[in-house]
C-alpha cells in the first residue's frame, strides 16, 4: 500500500483573472494574441495626490470584473477588489475541477500573498483621517489578509483548512507548492492554491519606483512599450492586476475531470538576504532541486516559464541560472510581458499560463523582446508558435531572498 507521500499529485482545475482577460478562454486568446492593457493607472488611490506634474505610474488594470450572480450582494458590498477578484477566480477553478461533490472537510485553501488591500486601506485612512470614530466596524475584519480566506470559505464549502502564505512576488507559486504538500501528506484530498490580487496604492508605486524595481517614466507616452522582460532596453517591472487559482489533488482520490498535468517536482530556497537582490545560487538551487525531485535531467525539460519581470539585475541573474543548469536549449517566453507583474498573484497566474499553453501545444509571444539580453536562448518573440511539449519548468522569485520552482508534465 502506498503512503500519501508516494501518491501522484495532479492539477485538475484552473481559474484566472487578469487585465487582458477573465477566464481561461479569454486569457488564452489574449496570451496568443499578445494582447496588452498597459496604460497610466486610473484607480482612485494610485496617483500621487496633489501633484499633477508627476509622471504617471503605468500598469494594467482590470476594466470589468464579472462576479457570479449567486454571490450575495450584502457580502460583496464590503468585499475589497482583491476579495471580489478572488471569488470570481476561485469560482472558475472550483467548477473546472468539479468540486461540488467533494467532502468539504477534505478541501483546503492556501491564499498566496500578504498586504493584499493597500490601496483600499489608504483610501479608508484618508477618508476618516479627521473622524476615525466613523470608521466602519467591519474594518476590524477587512484590513486583515485572512478576511479573504474567510470570505472564500463562507461562499465555498472549504472546511479542511484555509490560510494565507506570504512570500512577496513568489507567493503565488509558494501557495501552489504548499497545496501540493498538503495533498501529498494526506492532510486533505483537494487543495486550492490562490495567487491573490495585490491592490497597490501610490505609496507602493512610489517606493518601488524609487528603489528602481518598478519601471521609470521613460515610456509614459508609449505604455505598450514599457514592459519588456529580458530585453536590453528594460528598466523595471510594470504592475498588472491579476489573480490565479490552481486546484491540486491526489491522483485517484475521486473520479475527476481529466487533469491538466502531474506535479513532478518542486523546490524552494532562501538566501538570507532582506534586500530585493536576486540570488544566482538560490535560483540554481531550486532549479536543480525541482529536477532532482522529478527524477529528470535538464535535457528532459522542453519549456521554461521564467520569473522574468523586466528587472535590470533580476533578468540577467535568471538567465545565468538557467544557462548554468543546462536549460539553454528550452523554449522560453515571458508571461509578464503580456500581463504585467501581478506580484503576489504572479506565480499562480504563470502556472495557469504554462498549463494552458501545454493544453493548446502553442507558446505565446514575448512582447517588446526586440534585443534579447542573451540571444542564445530559444526565445518565443513577436508571434505565438505551435510547439509540442510535455515537460515544463516554472520559476518564481520574491524579495527577501526567496526562490521557487515547479516541474510539471502534461497529463496522458
pLDDT in tens, 252-287: 888 767 999 999 999 999 998 888 889 999 999 999
Do 211 and 335 lie in one domain? The reply is no
Point out the domain boundary residue: 200, 230, 250.
250
Q: Which helix (H) or strand (E) holds 91?
A: helix 81-97
Point out the domain boundary residue: 221, 250, 279.
250
pLDDT in tens, 293-323: 999 999 999 999 999 999 999 999 999 999 9
Range of the domain at 159: 4-250
Burial tier of 190 (Cβ tally within 10 Å: 0-12, 13-18, 19+):
buried
The answer to whether residue 115 is domain-embedded is yes
CATH number at residue 134: 3.40.47.10
Do 270 and 387 lie in one domain? The reply is yes
Do 344 and 238 lie in one domain? The reply is no
Calculate mean pLDDT across residues 41-69. Answer: 87
pLDDT in tens, 133-173: 888 888 888 889 999 999 999 999 999 999 999 999 999 99
The answer to whether residue 193 is domain-embedded is yes
Mean pLDDT of the chain: 94
Q: What is the pTM of this model?
A: 0.95
Do 292 and 399 lie in one domain? The reply is yes
Do 169 and 317 lie in one domain? The reply is no
Do 272 and 246 lie in one domain? The reply is no
Number of domains in the chain: 2
DSSP character at residue 69: T
**DSSP characters over 292-354:** HHHT--GGG--EEE------HHHHHHHHHHHHHTT-TTSEE--THHHH-B-GGGHHHHHHHHH
User: pLDDT value at position 274?
Assistant: 87
Burial tier of 411 (Cβ tally within 10 Å: 0-12, 13-18, 19+):
middle
Which region among 52-66, 267-281, 299-313, 342-356 has the lowest average model confidence (pLDDT)? 52-66
User: pLDDT value at position 4?
Assistant: 39
Do 182 and 103 lie in one domain? The reply is yes
The answer to whether residue 167 is domain-embedded is yes
Amino acid at each position: 500500500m502506498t503512503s500519501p507521500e508516494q501518491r501522484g499529485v495532479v492539477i485538475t482545475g484552473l481559474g484566472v483573472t487578469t487585465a487582458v482577460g477573465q477566464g481561461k478562454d479569454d486569457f488564452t486568446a489574449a496570451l496568443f494574441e499578445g494582447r496588452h492593457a498597459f496604460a497610466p493607472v486610473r484607480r482612485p488611490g494610485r496617483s500621487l495626490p496633489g501633484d499633477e506634474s508627476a509622471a504617471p505610474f503605468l500598469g494594467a488594470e482590470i476594466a470589468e470584473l464579472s462576479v457570479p450572480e449567486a454571490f450575495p450582494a450584502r457580502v460583496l458590498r464590503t468585499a475589497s477588489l482583491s476579495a471580489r477578484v478572488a471569488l470570481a477566480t476561485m469560482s472558475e477553478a472550483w467548477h473546472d475541477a468539479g468540486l461540488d461533490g467533494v467532502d468539504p472537510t477534505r478541501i483546503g485553501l492556501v491564499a498566496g500573498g500578504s498586504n493584499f488591500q493597500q490601496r483600499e486601506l489608504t483610501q479608508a485612512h484618508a477618508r476618516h483621517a479627521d473622524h476615525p470614530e466613523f470608521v466602519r466596524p467591519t474594518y476590524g475584519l477587512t484590513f486583515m489578509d485572512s478576511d479573504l480566506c474567510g470570505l472564500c470559505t463562507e461562499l465555498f464549502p472549504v472546511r479542511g483548512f484555509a490560510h494565507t502564505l506570504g512570500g512577496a512576488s513568489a507567493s503565488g507559486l509558494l501557495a501552489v507548492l504548499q497545496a501540493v504538500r498538503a495533498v501529498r501528506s494526506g492532510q486533505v484530498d483537494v487543495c486550492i492554491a490562490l495567487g491573490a490580487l495585490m491592490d497597490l496604492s501610490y505609496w507602493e508605486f512610489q517606493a518601488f519606483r524609487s528603489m528602481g524595481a518598478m519601471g521609470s517614466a521613460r515610456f509614459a507616452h508609449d505604455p505598450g512599450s514599457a514592459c519588456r522582460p529580458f530585453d536590453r532596453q528594460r528598466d523595471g517591472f510594470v504592475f498588472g492586476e491579476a489573480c490565479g487559482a490552481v486546484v491540486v489533488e491526489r491522483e485517484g482520490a475521486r473520479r475527476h475531470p481529466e487533469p491538466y498535468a502531474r506535479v513532478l517536482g518542486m523546490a524552494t530556497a532562501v538566501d538570507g538576504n532582506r534586500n530585493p537582490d536576486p540570488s544566482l545560487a538560490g535560483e540554481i538551487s531550486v532549479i536543480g532541486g525541482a529536477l532532482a525531485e522529478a527524477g529528470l535531467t535538464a535535457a528532459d525539460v522542453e519549456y521554461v516559464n521564467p520569473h522574468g519581470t523586466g528587472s535590470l539585475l533580476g533578468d540577467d541573474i535568471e538567465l545565468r541560472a538557467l544557462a548554468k543548469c543546462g536549460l539553454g536549449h528550452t523554449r522560453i517566453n515571458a508571461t509578464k510581458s503580456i500581463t504585467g507583474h501581478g506580484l503576489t498573484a504572479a506565480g499562480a497566474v504563470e502556472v495557469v499560463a504554462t498549463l494552458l499553453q501545454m493544453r493548446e501545444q502553442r507558446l505565446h509571444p514575448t512582447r517588446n523582446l526586440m534585443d534579447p539580453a542573451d540571444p542564445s536562448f530559444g526565445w518565443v518573440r513577436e508571434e505565438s508558435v505551435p510547439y509540442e511539449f510535455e515537460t515544463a519548468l516554472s520559476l518564481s522569485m520574491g524579495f527577501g531572498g526567496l526562490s521557487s520552482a515547479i516541474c510539471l508534465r502534461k497529463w496522458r
